[in-house]
Amino acid sequence: MYRWLLCFRYLKTRYIALASIISVTLGVATLIVVNSVMSGFSTEMHERLHGLASDVMIECHATGGMPDPDAHLREIERICGPALVGSSVSVSVPAMLGIDFRGQQIGRHVNLIGLDPTTYDNVSDFGKYLLHPENKTSASFQLRESGYAPDRKQLAAAGWRHRRDRVTEERRIEKLVAQEREMMAELRRKAGGQSDESDEQAEAAAAAAAAAEGPSFGPSLSQELISGSSDQLVAAVDPMTEQFPGIILGISTCSVRHRDDSGEVADHFYAQPGDDVRMIFPNAAGETKVINQKFTVVDLYESGMSEYDSTFAFVRLDQLQEFRGMIDPQTGVRSVTTIQLKLAEGTDLNAIRDALRHRFPPELYAYNIQTWRDLQGPLLSAVRLETTILNILLFLIIAVAGFGILATFFMIVVEKTRDIGTLKALGASGRGVSSIFMSYGLLLGFVGSGAGLVGGLLFVHYINDIARLLEMFTGQEVFDPTVYYFTEIPTIVHPFTLVWVMCGAIAIAVLASVLPAMRAARMHPVQALRFE
Amino acid sequence: MPTPLVLTARGLTKSYHKDRIDVPVLRGVDVEVRQGLVTALVGRSGSGKSTLMHLLATLDRPDAGEIFFRGNRIDNAPRAVRDRYRNHEIGIIFQFYHLLPELSAIENVLAPAMIGQSVWGYFKSRSENRRRAEALLDRVGLLHRAKHRPGEMSGGEMQRVAIARALMTDPKMLLADEPTGNLDTETGQEILRLLADLKETDNLTILMITHDDEIAASADVCWRMQDGQIHRGAVADDAPALATQAA
């Protein structure tokens, strides 16, 4: 009884001990904040990676892909059993994206994926990362009138409106150019016939000079390489009312992110929904040829993972199969390059993967079978390692705080020597006296880590406001949206983490009070009473 | 007719070791404390009277000799028994009061009860303990200061709180180590009157250490300590003869 009374009283009167516990408080608060932010980040990342990659992915390395995906799926269903809850097939092919921007071609290397929007959403998150609100619920490869990304003013006009404006503008310029040419021709005719010849000579000389300078920056694809040239198609499409096959571009493939003069983050789009882009990719035939196909951008894809946003472009599966010649002309059976599987929650992905690998051994099939964790293994393990090391370091901080408590407690024990003598004279046992200081350590640990818990949770709760405040004072952006694709700092508080951080901190405080408590217990009562 | 013996000690010796030199403090002391008497132990500083009291209170152990409390040997009893003896059978009053500065007067008085009882036991008899502590504070005339801390009290008041504390567990015997040593004469007299009162009303046995001959003279039994030995001193009419022995 007296031990609790006394240690409560010591807590109320010994502020120096509270000072020593501040480091525990700070350590606990930091641990909670760091763990929450780290788990927020990694959960967000897991979610995105997992959402994008589906559970298990079977990729075929052959350019022609694997024929008859239905037969494959039946076989996979047999292997997976009831664990298989969804599947989707797609064609993935390396491609070059060409964007016509102010008369110049911008080339980007992309991963062109042909997918079936309905089944693809079963295995991974696709629709929810599209910009148009209606595409988020049911993705479509038809250009929409307007309403892309209501919160982005750069895309306010995107859609048919942008397309019509652009075409009108192009036609106006064409008309102007034609008028000018006509005027020039008329002028030349008026000036007399003899100058015609010198003009032609000058043009020829300019062309020769250009050739001597080396390759120009304009597109210079040799026509033999390009099969199925889409020029006829171009002529057949009226851009005012019609569109080319739809394509959804990863947002970073057609935009750059920068800061404007006022320091605001701004995106500049080379192409936006409504624009036409060119895709150049190999066909599936044994003798590879390059296909040059025009597409109309119908939406943009923003997952927040820069790796995906800067390399992906999506088109309709059947169209891509047609373009690439992946349809058997005799049987009409289509080929795919990738099968993605969605498995029931809690399924052992590695076991399924191994079973599939056993069925499709790499010696016989050019397949690569991976779980989403395998795909992102190095990244995930790096984050895990980082979290572990941070936890160890922060716990060392609390351990250092433990030595502070140890020193303070020794001081308090020395200061309380006479009281210890008195207590022993009143019949208190050594264990009783030592338990005063152990309880005191426990109480201090509790108070310190409790304060740290509250502080840490408050910090986590207001972390975005704190980041903004810091930004205001320092002018330095804490959470740079040009680097991270989150607008807010993601945090997740795991109750289990709180419990073990609290327990750890309290244990350290109690351990630090063991030595001083033992000293107090061993004190000789007579010497303690005489202590001045 | 002599009253029964409460505390007896035989052949107590004690020496302190300093730099491999033995400094003898007690050289064979015999003690007999009888029920219901005030026994005074007079001596100059360094005569060993405080050491004797520490031995009798089991705060320290003798090098040789035996101590009996009501016929039971206590100097070599297990720790728990000695703790209980100090808590329950005797009350100790110190020259420097030794109140716990963090606790109020009433909490200081309650401290022995808290120490002697388990948390559960204490809670069960909490109101009873509180009543007793209040009664004791009333007895020493300090009920109105129950909530005051020792730092807010005078020396005499602190000593009275210490006496109340010593009586909390209803001990058979009080050991007082110079209870007036740190007080002015008048306050000291008050304390002595209080102790005399207690002896009369509660039939308490008191062993008091003092260096004041006048105080010693007012006791029922008086021993004089010199060079670690007890000499027979002024003795009350019915006091037993005290043996004075050399070691």
Q: Nearest residue on chain A to B60, judged by CA atoms?
A: A526
Based on the structure, what is the number of domains in chain A? 2
A124 vs A56: CA distance, rounded Å: 10
Do A39 and A63 reside in the same domain of the chain?
A: no
Residue that the structure tokens 């980082």 belong to: A386
Task: Inform me whether the C-beta atom of residue A528 falls under 8 Å from chain B C-beta atoms.
Answer: no
Contact A426 B111 (CB under 8 A): yes
CA pair distance B173, B176, nearest whole angstrom: 10
Inter-residue contact A448 to A507 (CB < 8 Å): no
Tokens of A196: 């015609």
Residue scoring higher pLDDT (A147 or A495): A495
B116 touches chain A (CB under 8 A): yes
Residue A354 within a domain: no
Q: pLDDT tens digits, residue range B211-242?
A: 888 888 888 888 888 888 887 654 444 444 44
* Other beta carbons less than 10 A from residue A489's beta carbon: 17
Domain boundary among A299, A324, A346: A346
- Report how far residue A38's alpha carbon sits from residue A390's, in angstroms, rounded to the nearest whole number: 10
A468-481 tens-digit pLDDT? 888 888 877 777 66
Q: Point out the residue among A13, A427, A529 whose CB comes nearest to the CB of B83.
A: A427
- Is A525 within 8 Å of B103 when comparing Cβ atoms? no
- Asked if residue A512 and residue A403 are part of one domain, the reply reads yes
Task: Please report the pLDDT score of residue A233 as a whole number.
Answer: 52
Interface test with B, best of A7, A14, A416, A426 (most B CBs within 10 A): A426
Mean pLDDT of A190-197: 66
**Distance in Å, alpha carbon of B158 to nearest chain A alpha carbon:** 14
A286 burial (CB, 10 Å; 0-12 / 13-18 / 19+) is: exposed
Q: Is residue A303 part of a domain?
A: yes
Q: What angle do CA B134, A530, A426 make, to 5 degrees?
A: 35
3-state DSSP call for residue A529?
A: helix
Neighbours of A355 (CB within 10 A): 16
Percentage of chain A surpassing pLDDT 70?
90
Q: Which sign does the torsion angle of CA A466, A468, A474, A478 carry?
A: positive
Q: How far is A532 from chain B (nearest CA, A)?
A: 11
Q: What is the predicted pLDDT for the residue at B245?
A: 35
Residues A153 and A250 in one domain: yes
DSSP bridge partners of A335: A67
A436: nearest CA partner in chain B: B115
Instruction: Indicate whether A107 and A243 sit together in one domain.
Output: yes
Domain of residue A282, residue span: 56-159+239-346
CA distance B244 to B247: 10
Give the Cα separation of A276 and B208 in Å (integer).
110
pLDDT reported for residue A202: 60
Of A419, A427, A430, which is closest to B87 when you measure between CB atoms?
A427
**pLDDT tens sequence across B121-167:** 888 888 888 999 999 989 888 888 889 999 898 888 898 899 899 98
CB of A67 within 8 Å of any CB in chain B?
no
State the amino acid at position B20 in one-letter form.
R
CB contact under 8 A, A421 and B116: no
Q: Which span out of A114-128, A185-199, A481-495, A499-513 was modeled with the highest average pLDDT?
A: A499-513
pTM summary value: 0.68
Q: Which residues pair with A477 in a beta bridge?
A: none
Assign A236 a pLDDT band (cuts: 50, 70, 90): low
Size of interface A-B (CB pairs under 8 A): 74
Measured between its terminal Cα atoms, the distance across chain A in Å is: 27
In this complex, is the C-beta atom of A8 within 8 Å of any C-beta atom belonging to chain B?
A: no
At which of A323, A346, A369 does a domain end?
A346
Predicted pLDDT of residue A177 = 92
Q: Please give the DSSP secondary-structure letter assigned to residue A287.
A: S
Query: Tokens 């990738």 label which residue?
Result: A338
Closest CA–CA distance from residue A396 to any residue of chain B (Å): 34
In terms of CA atoms, which chain A residue is nearest residue B167?
A426
The CATH code of domain B5-100+154-235 reads: 3.40.50.300
Whether residue A165 lies inside any domain: the answer is no
A-chain CB neighbours of B98 within 8 Å are 418-419, 421-422, 425, 529
Residues in Cβ contact with B235 at an 8 Å cutoff, skipping those fewer than 6 apart: B221, B222, B241, B242
For residue B50, the chain A residue with the least C-alpha distance is A526
Examine the fold and report which residue of A291, A324, A346 is the final residue of a domain before the chain moves on: A346
pLDDT (mean) for A266-271 = 82
The band of A198, judged by pLDDT with boundaries at 50, 70 and 90, is low
Minimal Cα distance from A418: which residue of B? B98
ipTM of the complex: 0.88
pLDDT of residue B232: 65
Indicate the pLDDT class of residue B1, thresholds 50, 70 and 90: low
Which of A8-12, A318-322, A415-419, B132-136 is least confident?
A8-12
The answer to whether A424 contacts chain B (CB < 8 Å) is yes
Task: Report the C-alpha gap between A147 and A157 in whole angstroms.
Answer: 8
pLDDT at residue B246 tops 60: no
For residue A145, tell me if it sits in a domain: yes
In a domain, residue A402? The reply is yes
| A298/A333 same-domain check | yes
Neighbouring C-beta atoms of residue B69, cutoff 10 Å? 22
Are B1 and B61 spatial neighbours (Cβ–Cβ below 8 Å)? no
**Token digits of residue B182:** 């740190």
